[in-house]
Chain A
Amino acid sequence: MAMENKTAAFEYAPAPESRSVVDIAPSYGLFIDGEFTEAADGKVFKTVSPSTEEVLSEVARAGAEDVDRAVKAARKAFEKWSALPGSERAKYLFRIARIIQERSRELAVLETLDNGKPIKETRDADLPLVAAHFFYYAGWADKLDHAGFGANPRPLGVAGQVIPWNFPLLMLAWKIAPALATGNTVVLKPAETTPLSALFFADICRQAGLPKGVVNILTGYGDAGQALVEHPDINKVAFTGSTAVGKAIARSVAGTDKKVTLELGGKGANIVFDDAPIDQAVEGIVTGIFFNQGQVCCAGSRLLVQESIQDELLDSLKRRLSTLRLGDPLDKNTDIGAINSAEQLARITALTETGEAEGAERWSAPCELPSAGYWFAPTLFTNVTQAHTIARDEIFGPVLSVLSFRTPDEAVAKANNSQYGLSAGIWTEKGSRILAVANKLRAGVVWANTFNKFDPTSPFGGYKESGFGREGGRHGLEGYLDV
């Protein structure tokens, strides 16, 4: 037979998404009061593509003076914006949502370039969710009377919002969509390593004819973020990021009447019982910890597996990890992209070294790492106990810690034995066990036989040091209403 005994493998030829769909300017200003403007002190910083270390653009670096200017613009815009009927605000949000959909390919490529995550994810997860979030909250804008907060709930005023680099545009959507729907105006600071998609969003606001000052974007570092949350004329602080910064924010707003929502770190437990659908559990574990290179606050970074199936599950998991394709994030067949920054790569490297030093057994998928850029091979640790640093600290990278348990009670106890409480997963074919275990888990999201599934209708947020307040769904309105 012609094909018999052949040894050729099915090698996928490169299939890169075209960069030409996005036009990145050599420099960008701050977006204040509907205009792009330089920083008051003229400072700029460079943003690089993490997969190549190529400089993508130079953006203005906001300082305290710029923060003040932006807050004033937002304050000025608030009066008219909040007075608009909800149905009018909805029109703007629907328009923004549609423009995002129309420009989704461009934005997906941009996000992949600036963040390092695979185009597969920006195309199939980030951008559809961004548009869905604006559509969803557009729908609420004229129905706030029926949201369960009494008649005619009032907005808070100016919201200061600081977002992380792991889902730059999606986190922007989580912050801006509910704020605008409820009648607030915003000043948003994207992370310093991923400023570009927020600046493109500023352009979308102009395209949608959004009134000046309703959305202001300040690119910059932590000092700008600090100046923003400490500004005396903001009414609301919304932050997504590390627990350390979250604590600092909580301290700085103590004693003020600013309303605060914090979405912080996590160390999600993904619990696999012996009656789990094994092949799908393996997929769920992969999605749980290797989606976005594990740089996800709700990542399933702790695998809790019933001891009776541990070997079998790990064999399957390792086999599956060996098929992950790491490389050019713009290639449509790439599963694992680049780590967002040299700093984050150093943190992941340091924590994995601690894991080895503390006696856990390290296994990495066999794959070649590109020579330029920031890369980390998908890794798992076995022989991990609750006492290991890698079982307690958030690594925020493609590193899975595998622990075992014997009984459902032990699984729950170990899952809850964490300073965090953001997400958890349960894998079992037994429905009654799903319900019983989910009720006992102290986590803001519990996924059953799936992981890392997001929907704008579903509230998201944490217990314990994972933060407070909820974003998404009807609950997400509360953080932006004076109720």
Chain B
Amino acid sequence: MPPPLPGGAVEAGRWLQEEIYGSPVREASIPCHSGVTDLTDRHLHSGGCTGSYARRYAHLVTMPTNAPAAAFADATASDGALRRFLHGLPGIDPVGLEARAASLGTRSIKTSAKVYAIDLAISMIDLTTLEGADTPGKVRALAAKAVHPDPTDRTTPHTAAVCVYPDMVATAKEVLKGSDVKVASVATAFPAGRAALPVKLADVRDAIAAGADEIDMVIDRGAFLAGHYLKVYEEIAAVRAECGEQARLKVIFETGELSTYDNIRRASWLGMMAGADFIKTSTGKVAVNATPANTLVLLEAVRDFRAATGTQVGVKPAGGIRNTKEAIKFLVLVNETVGADWLDNHWFRFGASSLLNDLLMQRQKLATGRYSGPDYVTVD
């Protein structure tokens, strides 16, 4: 349970508003970014090919600090400044972007590369159930599968995490005790995000109190589309503060609702500037979820953000990735856009459920030389 708030429920909203938006608190409430390195010349002007955005945004880096939020203090000083910054990012030509994503989709990943990719993909899954009908039984089954995805082959890697609603965190945590599988929880009035900030923060606090290692928050798309970028920024920063040292924060943009690639790039920077540990495409609850093209935009954003600030941020495409072939295409995108530094489950995840069984069937096929079929993997 979250700690009691002063002044009772009615007062809670106002108290939090002041706590978060009040000028002395906002900057101080933004924590150090986990796993962040210091910002030195070495990072900003590292030779070779990585310094492009570093040069462009070097003037923004005003203090020798390890918090990206401070690095962008100028850009986040006002709604106008933030808007100018985000709209100053290079545009995206949709035809060219989609062509690039499609061309990487033609890579042919065979034999040893496929073996590697399948195990890597399994290890990157946030095995997800986000249904109104979720029960403790369902969540326990899913968590058990996350630890031992293939009961017939104990060499199969475990998934990165299970992803559940906050009220199921404790149940998942119980099953996963002693394993390396994390518990991720969607919060902040997932999936629509249409709730007051105090409610969202309470949702986050509740999930963390129950033991969540990772929080998947949704941004306020309404505020974003209305151009209230600072509101979105502050909300993310507030959730980041709530996560503290206990949880890594994934920020879901719901790219299908942001609609344009320019918006997706702006949202990516907004999220990273506000302290996201991961940026994530979708909730899986709308018509268009993760696609190679929108994930490519996120990957370019984390690549450029690291070049500018030295801070590495993870990427999570979610929703709609159902089979091995598609998953491998995403890994190729990662490999050829940001490289080996992101090819591990600390930095890249798949938000998926049915994907795992297809990966397991392909894994069995590679091991035995024949297809087994759906009766040889577990039903969730």
Contacts and interface: CB of A to CB of B under 8 A. Distances in A.
B55 A311 contact: yes
Contact of B93 (A11, A333, A449): A449
A120 interface: yes
Most buried by B among A5, A284, A316: A316
A450 B97 CA distance: 11
28 contacts: A1-B180, A1-B344, A1-B346, A3-B345, A3-B346, A8-B340, A10-B113, A10-B340, A11-B116, A12-B113, A13-B111, A13-B113, A14-B110, A15-B109, A275-B91, A276-B91, A277-B96, A280-B93, A280-B95, A280-B97, A312-B52, A313-B52, A315-B50, A332-B106, A333-B107, A333-B108, A429-B93, A449-B93
B92 A13 contact: no
Contact of A10 (B97, B108, B335): B335
A361 interface: no
Nearest to A283: B100
Interface string A1-39: 111111111111111000000000000000000000000
Interface residues of A, number: 39
Nearest to B123: A3
Interface residues of B, number: 45
A214 interface: no
Interface of B: 48-53, 55-56, 90-93, 95-97, 99-100, 106-114, 116-117, 120, 123-124, 157-158, 160, 180, 300, 331-332, 335-336, 340, 343-346
Contact of B92 (A279, A315, A333): A279
A318 interface: yes
Nearest to B49: A319
B5 to A, nearest CB: 35
Contact of B108 (A322, A332, A449): A332
A278 interface: yes
Contact of A277 (B92, B157, B160): B92
Most buried by A among B91, B114, B331: B91
Most buried by A among B48, B49, B97, B300: B49
Q: Nearest 4 pairs between A and B by C-beta?
A: A280-B96, A319-B49, A15-B108, A332-B108
B160 A1 contact: yes
Contacts of A458: none
A313 B55 CA distance: 11
B226 to A, nearest CB: 23
Given A124-B106, A449-B95, 15 more contacts: A10-B113, A10-B116, A10-B120, A12-B107, A12-B108, A12-B109, A276-B91, A277-B91, A277-B96, A284-B96, A311-B55, A312-B56, A315-B52, A316-B52, A449-B96
Interface in A268-304: 275-280, 283-284
A276 B90 contact: yes
Interface in A322-350: 322-323, 332-333
A336 to B, nearest CB: 14
A308 to B, nearest CB: 10
Contacts of B123: 1-3
A183 B95 CA distance: 38
A12 B99 CA distance: 21
Contacts of A316: 49, 52
Contact of B90 (A13, A277, A322, A332): A277
Given A3-B157, A10-B113, A13-B112, A322 B345 contact: no
Contacts of A15: 108-110
A439 B95 CA distance: 23
A276 B90 CA distance: 7
A4 B344 contact: yes
Contacts of A124: 106
B347 to A, nearest CB: 10
A11 to B, nearest CB: 6
B299 to A, nearest CB: 10
B93 A4 contact: no
Contact of B51 (A277, A278, A315, A450): A315
Contacts of A277: 90-93, 96
Nearest to B157: A2
A450 B52 contact: no
B94 to A, nearest CB: 9
Nearest to B114: A13
Given A1-B346, A280-B97, A10 B331 contact: yes
Contacts of B346: 1, 3-4
Contacts of A1: 123, 160, 180, 344-346
A311 B52 contact: yes
A253 B55 CA distance: 57
A304 B96 CA distance: 19
Most buried by A among B93, B123, B335, B343: B93
Contacts of B331: 10
Interface string A161-185: 0000000000000000000000000
Given A10-B335, A277-B91, A449-B95, A322 B109 contact: no
Given A10-B116, A15-B108, A15-B109, A278 B95 contact: no
Contacts of B111: 13
A112 to B, nearest CB: 14
B120 A3 contact: yes
Contacts of B106: 120, 124, 332
B90 A278 contact: yes
Contact of B49 (A318, A333, A429): A318
Contacts of B100: 279-280, 283
A237 B110 CA distance: 48
Contacts of B93: 277, 280, 429, 449-450
A371 B25 CA distance: 64
A279 B97 contact: yes
A11 B49 contact: no
Contacts of B110: 13-15
B54 to A, nearest CB: 9
Contacts of A13: 109-114
